[in-house]
Structure 1
């Protein structure tokens, strides 16, 4: 059962334009969502559905809070598969700690398979030195997942906000998804004790359950957020064509065959997302084993969702007329927000490479 009441959602929507205009963090939204119990662990299917709903009201809030929900989902997925190594994360999340991702790096198109950050073993743990980008929740996180490279090994761990050696550049001023406040984070010999080192893995692709948990939760929840953006875009498109009238006939644009086709085509594309996103989320919850096809299915679902969302918003802009181009309007904000989908892992090239390798074997 969702905790996203209609009153809560309307309050969150009422603040979204202001956060975007001021390039400010969604502090009030976070406070209300935490108080409502939204940050607590639950099934991936329920989380995906809720994130889609939340994103229809405030895309940047949904995308920002996604990062915490992904880490909680990773810990939950491991526990369900008999791996209790992240049970402490579930306990801390339940106690109110906020988790964020310090994974993406400038120039690192290998994402999880390699790192530009240096992980140096020292007595009692590792130090991490490097630069992380797109660190959503920067103003509020209390736990940050980081990883780096030591020789041929990738080391994953978590720092706390009071750990010395990290700093934020405060440089988030982007076209869309502004309220996420995903600033660049610089790590300068930041120490992570052994107790918070959660994985050491070889460089390159692997099917470790920890990696699977990240992919499954991140890709499906990202896809759900953009599906939610598209849901709202379609709503606004329908409202626009019902509101507009043709000057020479006085008839509603809702009776115009061209606009009817445009709206219908957007809806047909959007209707395809729920079975894919929710079906895979249910499979993760149900411990279904898709074997080597998992990464193909997960990356494909995220890619299809963001591309479909961009298409739906394009149709909405075409349907709304010149008023949709107003910078202060909701539709224009959604159009800017949906463009962020271009930059989430895995990019279109990586997705197609993954699917081709699954179907055709490795490139020779």
Structure 2
């Protein structure tokens, strides 16, 4: 049973057999804290990493909305795999976003994706609540239009698998009176970085989102995409990152919630009460919990589809995109936590064991609170859109 089957017009790359294979590995990767190398190989072979690359550039040409639906299906099979692959899809979505709006500055990324390159997201920094608006990483000009990057990036998902890493850093030396946030891409074979073996977490373990220490990682001039002033920006590159990241992230956690609801329905149909002799699916309190979880989840899908569809349709919300997509991310991750919690409450004490899939989903879904935009940032964004900036 699926609470939210894709419409018949949605194109899909992930087959049911492939998803079943990936689901069958997820518990082992979680228990052993190992990278999903086997899943990544299968996803590459299926052409899934090229999902959003336009057909004329060698990809499958899926829309953002279709890819979000696919990501939800993948998350239902293996949340950590979906989360890590999500960071690659974000970059492809950003390149697609620019391409469709007449900006070819990331067309090379679409072509390289079509030829098998895997992109990682190296933006997060400890204590940096400015996110895209500032950076603690140094971007040092090389004199030829390129930069070397020096700093520490955290939560670098798919650390063992990326071949290209998107990074940002602050250049405050070229013109100290006019510092710039430099957005660029470095390559794995170019060196200048160290990936720490420090990913031992409560959940999302297979993602291997290790700390990346940049110490001279070099981006040549043609891989420097933007030099923007620190602070809020409506540059299409920033809008592309923000909208793509939030929408695709929301899809992953909504997929987790969908799977949790499915497991709860299956479980309460099997479990029987010694008191009544009936299946727990006949217990009014259990039925209320299942229905409450479903009602909450049903409210997320239309928002996800609507916003992703608007991006695909080139709708221009301007600064309104920040409020819309930050709100979607917070509602999706918080709803997912609620749905998984209700599924746990319905399904009994066996879910408290690590061997339980619901128990694993319970740990995985908690990661949603740490991704930008967090609850505080989203509320600040919405308050500013309604009340203006703080004086």
* Band of TM-score, shorter chain: over 0.9
CA distance in 1, matches of 2:316, 2:143: 39
> Secondary structure in 2 aligned to 1:174?
coil
TM-score of the aligned structures, taking structure 2 as reference length: 0.92
Q: 1:16 aligns with which of 23, 26, 31?
A: 26
> Secondary structure in 2 aligned to 1:39?
helix
- Structure 1 residue 244: Cα displacement: 1.5
- Structure 1 residue 90: Cα displacement: 0.2
Give 2:333's aligned residue: 306
Structure 1: gaps of 5 or more residues: none
Structure 2: gaps of 5 or more residues: 1-10, 53-61, 173-178
Give 2:301's aligned residue: 274
- Structure 1 residue 363: Cα displacement: 1.6
Q: 1:132 aligns with which of 153, 156, 160?
A: 153
CA distance in 1, matches of 2:303, 2:317: 14
CA distance in 2, matches of 1:4, 1:51: 9
- Structure 1 residue 93: Cα displacement: 0.2
Give 1:101's aligned residue: 121
CA distance in 2, matches of 1:39, 1:164: 24
CA distance in 2, matches of 1:306, 1:2: 24
Structure 1's consecutive aligned runs of 4 or more residues displaced over 3 angstroms after TM superposition are: none
CA RMSD of aligned residues (A): 0.8
> Secondary structure in 2 aligned to 1:159?
strand
> Secondary structure in 2 aligned to 1:85?
coil
Q: 1:115 aligns with which of 135, 145, 157?
A: 135
Count of residues in correspondence between the two structures: 364
TM-score of the aligned structures, taking structure 1 as reference length: 0.99
> Secondary structure in 1 aligned to 2:49?
coil
Aligned CA distance change for structure 1 residues 292 and 164 (closer, same or farther; 3 Å): closer
Whether contact under 8 Å (2:234, 2:318) holds in the other structure is: no
Superposed CA offset, 1:283-321 (max 9, x none): 001011112211100000010000000000000110011
Give 2:56's aligned residue: none
Q: 1:71 aligns with which of 91, 97, 109?
A: 91
Give 1:144's aligned residue: 165
CA distance in 2, matches of 1:69, 1:57: 17
Give 2:246's aligned residue: 219
Whether contact under 8 Å (2:120, 2:158) holds in the other structure is: yes
